[in-house]
Structure 1
Amino acid sequence: MCALSTHLLVPAVRNFCTTSSISINCHRSTIARIGRTTYTCMYPTLVINSDGSTINIRYHEPRKIIKLPLDLSTLTEAERRQRLEARKPKVKVVIEEDIEDDFDLGSYEHLWKK
């Protein structure tokens, strides 16, 4: 009866390492980002406002810089038009096929002759 009572007092040992489906080793952080859903501490982060001012904050994810988007409704019409034009794709450069070439291959023969 004494052996039975000591058996009940010993807690069951569980192996929590085998329950995770992600293989964690020394190469884990070099291949991809850390697969955490929640981070345990806050990280120093720089926030850049749309007017260019900066604020140092503590953020829940490890980031260096967060840039806030610009509100187009606060801009003047000329500034808004200029920003929208900058978003459009640039004009493609047309390559001309008929180019006069005065390249002389003989002047480079000394480089491949032994």
Structure 2
Amino acid sequence: MLLKHLINKGQQQMRCISSASAAVTRLHRSVYCRMYPTVVVQPDGSTINIRYHEPRKIIKLPLDLSTLSEAERKARLEARKPRKKVKIMEEVEDTFNAKKYMKYIKKKQ
């Protein structure tokens, strides 16, 4: 037992990293590069918390249109198209008669 303890002190400790522990633990670096916490939203709605080099809050991955039905695909493509501006034509009735208000105007003397 004592011999095992002395042997381990002389060696440098090696970390065992697997794909399961790498996603759960912290970054083991002496110098952290500038990374920002970001949420990645996948097309099915599930989310993943990652570190991203740009300061973004949410990154939404695009939806694969080939997996949708024909009706859903048409609805999505229609929503992408720019909407036409509605022009409102106002008809102004000009029934103003200046002679009607001449009696209220005073002449300067």
The TM-score with structure 1 as length reference comes to 0.46
